[in-house]
Structure 1
Amino acid sequence: MSRRSLTARLLTTATAGLAALALAACGGADAGTDTGTDAADATSTSGSGEGSASSSDAGTVTITDNHGEVEVEVNPERVVALDNHVFETLHAWDVPLVAAPKTIMGDVWPAYTDDAAVLDVGSHREPNLEAIIEAQPDLIIGGYRFSESYADIKAQNPQAVVIELAPREGEDPEAEMTRQVEILGQIFDREDDAAAIVADYEDSIATAAEAYNGTDTVIGLITSGGEIAYSAPVTGRSIGVLFPTLGLTPAIEQAAEDVSHGDDISVEAIAAANPDWLVVLDRDGSGVGEGEYTSAQQLISGSEALAGVTAVAQNQIVYLDPDFYLTEDIQAYTALYDQIGEAFGAAR
């Protein structure tokens, strides 16, 4: 039980006791007993409720995370978030954090990264799990880059509920995106807000799919460290999911070997495939790269081999938001589908 729930129970008990004493003084001992029972029953009721109820009057909600059913306090007081997919939603809902992996958050969420009271968990490569223990959380939203630390985090924080909501491999990617935000809506009593986010996401997909002519070929690319890599349809990092979601026709059908950073590909191979469209993630544009930065635009426009490619010659290139590599959340995909829809529509 969290400190907040314990406080609520003590306050309820005290209130019931005072009511009983007052009624007994008036000769209503039986009424005092009934009042105490009603108060206790009221505070034991669970449910997500409506509006922005506190944890003491909203109770708990049972959700299904990546490991099974978990009972979570509604509107938990002390939250640690480690999954980049959830930061934008939590920030929009004014959910305070007690710890977060500031090292991999860039400058997208300064409300968290610039706040000294939010402890830094570091990065998934060098996690500072002690910061989580120090934060004394009630809820830890783990997973994604921190998935390998799940067992350690759970063992080190027995007082906290630990959940993972990151999209699961092999599941429908669109459904996984909506599932994640809908569960957050249940936990933070913002189900209507979650539904609005999902509606915007689904509308953006429908618009982009309608704008696509059904025949133009597409290649997904990832640039980093001055190199161009290939993002495979379906499983490739960030861009692969666009192919099944929008029904895009790939100009190259090659299975992914490195789903995180992209696979090696030569500019000659891209030119030979002659795609009508390129969709490009500039990984270093988010500030995570090392050494001298070369933008995706520079790499593609500066390549003689790519100059004659239809996508380049007709300027049919969609560059993802520079922060996409850091976010990859439902809001980022909504904006991307809007962007793609506008580009396809303009070309038609």
Structure 2
Amino acid sequence: MPTMFSRRPLGVLGAVSAAALVLASCAAPPEETSDDVDVVTVVDNHGEIEVPVNPRRLVALDNTTFQTLSDWDVDVAAVPKPLMHDLWPDLSDDPSVLDVGSHREPNLEAVIEADPDLVIGGYRFASVYEDLKDIQPRTVEINARDGEDQVAELRRQVEILGQIFDREDDAAAIVDELDTAITAAADAYNGTDTVVGLITSGGDISYAAPGSGRGVGLLFPTLDLVPGIEQAAEDSTHGDDISVEAIAQANPEWLVVLDRDATFDEEGYVPAAELIEGSEALANVPAVRKGQVIYLEPGFYLDEGIQAYTTLFDAVATAFADAE
């Protein structure tokens, strides 16, 4: 899965780190894991690390873990509320839950104030990993790693969460649901229909490359889909520029579309369906003419966890089966 955070200049990071260290020195030092606290050794993106089981005070920053934490009724001490919108009110609406803010301007003071015994960082917050480690050495990153099989990474993440929260059976059930959805989608695909992935935002349509395009990309290698357009990604996060004429020329049987703005519905928002199905240039494309356009769930852009992908594979399976 592509990295999706904005790196700040090193000078800014250094200033943030220095401020964090000053604040941390004023706060109580992290408690050592005591003999009466169960611990487990997990392998995160950086190697083996010993963490508490069912941490009493958790700071959760990786949005791809939020649905699992919500489903398991995990209490959190601090989260990035601007990134949560209204998707996980049980995690974010409590006024006692501190707000770490956006990954673009993280409020590390809130992390210190939360006094966590575990921090789940990474993904959008990967650029402040060292700062988080300075605050709490028991900081883990378990988001999908670049260069690894992305479906395997989804499984791996929830399995690690199962270890941390003593919910390994529940984690296995979540993995089974994903695998079942993938099998159903693969079985329903006829093996020949061409597919193009798209991303819409700000009234524009962009191309999502097979394998690496945001959200849509992993469908191609996982289901062995035939790409209607074979072009490497230049911007896997936001998509690459493409004209509707180029999409029409590809003449795909299917379109799979991530609407990045759907959750926010801000003033001037143009839904993906309006951009695609309302385009005269795309009217005769088989995907549009036959109604074979699959739209990801509105909250996908903010979620991107294993459950969101399970829902996507389920939707693809249903669409492919209905078209037979």
TM-score w.r.t. the length of structure 1 is: 0.83
Answering whether residue 112 of structure 2 is matched by residue 136 of structure 1, we say: no
State which structure, 1 or 2, has the greater radius of gyration over its C-alpha atoms. 1
The separation in 1 between residues aligned to 2:132 and 2:51, in whole angstroms, is 17
> Within 5 A, what are the aligned runs for 1:75-86?
75-86=54-65
**Is the Cα–Cα contact under 8 Å of residues 185 and 316 in structure 2 kept in the other structure?**
yes
**Is the Cα–Cα contact under 8 Å of residues 271 and 305 in structure 1 kept in the other structure?**
yes
Higher relative CO (Cα under 8 Å, sequence separation at least 6) belongs to 2
The separation in 2 between residues aligned to 1:76 and 1:85, in whole angstroms, is 19
Residue 245 of structure 1: CA displacement? 0.4
Deviation digits for residues 180-207 of structure 1, max 9, x if unmatched? 0000000100000000000000000000
Residue 127 of structure 1: CA displacement? 0.9
- Residue type of the alignment partner of 1:342: T
Residue 126 of structure 1: CA displacement? 1.1
> Within 5 A, what are the aligned runs for 1:69-218?
69-155=48-134, 157-158=135-136, 160-218=137-195
Look up the match of 1:345.
Answer: 321
The separation in 1 between residues aligned to 2:209 and 2:93, in whole angstroms, is 36
The separation in 2 between residues aligned to 1:274 and 1:222, in whole angstroms, is 17
Look up the match of 2:290.
Answer: 314
- Residue type of the alignment partner of 2:160: I
Residue 129 of structure 1: CA displacement? 1.1
The separation in 1 between residues aligned to 2:286 and 2:315, in whole angstroms, is 19
Residue 284 of structure 1: CA displacement? 0.3
Tell me the SS of whatever aligns to 1:305.
helix
Look up the match of 1:280.
Answer: 257
The separation in 2 between residues aligned to 1:174 and 1:111, in whole angstroms, is 27
**Is the Cα–Cα contact under 8 Å of residues 214 and 238 in structure 2 kept in the other structure?**
yes
Residue 114 of structure 1: CA displacement? 1.1
Question: Tell me, which stretches of 5 or more residues in structure 2 are unaligned?
Answer: 1-28
Task: Report the identity percentage.
Answer: 61
Look up the match of 1:243.
Answer: 220
The separation in 1 between residues aligned to 2:31 and 2:157, in whole angstroms, is 27
Aligned length: 296
- Residue type of the alignment partner of 1:340: V
**Is the Cα–Cα contact under 8 Å of residues 207 and 240 in structure 2 kept in the other structure?**
yes
- Structure having the higher helix fraction is 1
Residue 280 of structure 1: CA displacement? 0.4
Question: Tell me, which stretches of 5 or more residues in structure 1 are unaligned?
Answer: 10-42, 44-55
Look up the match of 2:310.
Answer: 334
The separation in 2 between residues aligned to 1:290 and 1:346, in whole angstroms, is 33
Deviation digits for residues 186-237 of structure 1, max 9, x if unmatched? 0100000000000000000000000000000000000000000000000111
Residue 5 of structure 1: CA displacement? 5.3
Look up the match of 2:301.
Answer: 325
Deviation digits for residues 127-174 of structure 1, max 9, x if unmatched? 11111011000000000000001011111x14x510000000000111
Q: Mean alpha-carbon deviation: is it higher for 264-273 or for 146-155?
A: 146-155
**Is the Cα–Cα contact under 8 Å of residues 30 and 115 in structure 2 kept in the other structure?**
no
Q: Pick from 198, 205, 229 the counterpart of residue 221 of structure 1.
A: 198
Deviation digits for residues 73-116 of structure 1, max 9, x if unmatched? 11110000000110000111111000000011110001122111
**RMSD over aligned Cα, in angstroms?**
1.4
- Residue type of the alignment partner of 2:120: I
> Within 5 A, what are the aligned runs for 1:23-102?
56=37, 59-102=38-81
Deviation digits for residues 21-71 of structure 1, max 9, x if unmatched? xxxxxxxxxxxxxxxxxxxxxx5xxxxxxxxxxxx3xx2111110011001
The separation in 1 between residues aligned to 2:100 and 2:240, in whole angstroms, is 30
**Is the Cα–Cα contact under 8 Å of residues 225 and 290 in structure 1 kept in the other structure?**
no
| Structure 1 moving runs of 4+ over 6 Å | none
Residue 4 of structure 1: CA displacement? 9.2
Tell me the SS of whatever aligns to 2:144.
coil
The separation in 2 between residues aligned to 1:267 and 1:102, in whole angstroms, is 36
**Is the Cα–Cα contact under 8 Å of residues 80 and 99 in structure 1 kept in the other structure?**
yes
The separation in 2 between residues aligned to 1:227 and 1:176, in whole angstroms, is 30
The separation in 2 between residues aligned to 1:132 and 1:297, in whole angstroms, is 40
Residue 330 of structure 1: CA displacement? 0.3
The separation in 2 between residues aligned to 1:95 and 1:184, in whole angstroms, is 11
Tell me the SS of whatever aligns to 1:69.
strand
